[in-house]
């Protein structure tokens, strides 16, 4: 019941987005589209940098 009022962790949300991007990148790589794969990996790396910055400030 008290979980309703709990604040969501923004770092956890970013980590979930990063994991989703990495999974999409894996499927794209298997299909052979390396340019799209590189783009997804770059997006995942940007999220990783945001996660590290948020973790350091906490």
Residue 6: exposed, middle, or buried by beta-carbon count in 10 A (0-12, 13-18, 19+)? exposed
pLDDT(5) > 80: no
Place of tokens 């589209």: 33
Asked if residue 46 lies in contact with residue 24, where contact means CB atoms within 8 angstroms, the answer is no
Q: What is the pLDDT of residues 24-43, one digit of tens each?
A: 999 999 999 999 999 999 99
Instruction: Report the chain's mean pLDDT, rounded to a whole number.
Output: 91
CA 46/CA 29 separation, integer angstroms:
19
Average pLDDT over residues 7-36: 94
CA 14/CA 10 separation, integer angstroms:
6
Average pLDDT over residues 4-11: 78
């Amino acid at each position: 019941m008290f979980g309703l009022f709990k604040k969501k962790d923004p770092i956890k949300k970013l980590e979930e987005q990063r994991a989703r991007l990495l999974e999409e990148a894996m499927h794209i790589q298997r299909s052979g589209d390396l340019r799209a794969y590189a783009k997804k990996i770059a997006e995942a790396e940007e999220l990783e940098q945001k996660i590290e910055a948020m973790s350091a400030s906490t």
